[in-house]
Amino acid sequence: MRFFKRIAQFRWYIFCHQDFAFFDDPAEILKDLSRDAIYGVIGAALVKKFSWSHLRHYRHNELTGMVFTSLSRNAPKKNIAVSGKVKVATLDCCCFIVNSKLIREHDLSFDENLPFHLYSEDFSLTAKSKGIDTYVVPIACCHTGRGTFNRAFFENLIYLKQKHNIDRLVGTSSIDRGE
């Protein structure tokens, strides 16, 4: 009987790159989070800003979250640190976290047509279409890799926009300007 109770218990799944590492134990943050949302360390949200030089408002992908760029805490940092959870539109693929409860209840999965680029953005957008929110949380971590914008990236971007019927991807890749 104890065996079946253990299997029925929901678990956190952390999807991260091979060149990603945590400085702190993520379990300390996860223990207080709702199992009804998806979390990551870096994400993007669309914000409206005003340009005084052009005297007009414009849309801007704002990055939220922070990672160090080497295995030292004294290394340079990327993006903006957060002190609590912050709602975002999509998460970066360097690390995102989802509970098995959401996967089971909402039949979440990865799109086979996105084997490398933009799979986390797709996961975030699919979850949003099912009423699931996405957040960045403060976890001390490091990502030493760099993104690549090759032909496959742009092909996947076109596919993702068509799949979700969007003109512009709100993501950590600022390459998509929506033109």
119-129 helix and 151-164 helix, angle to the nearest 10 degrees: 10
pLDDT at 157: 92
Alpha-carbon distance of 20 to 9, in angstroms, equals 27
Q: Provide the whole-model pTM.
A: 0.84
Integer Cα distance of 16 and 166 in angstroms:
26
Taken in order of first residue, the domains within the chain and their CATH numbers are 10-164 (3.90.550.10)
pLDDT value of residue 175:
56
Instruction: Look up residue 7 and give its two tokens.
Output: 């299997």
What is the residue-level pLDDT of the chain in tens, covering all 179 positions?
444 444 457 899 999 999 999 998 999 989 999 999 999 999 998 877 666 676 665 666 788 888 888 777 777 777 778 888 999 999 999 999 999 999 999 999 999 999 888 999 999 999 999 999 999 999 989 988 777 788 888 999 999 999 999 988 888 875 554 43
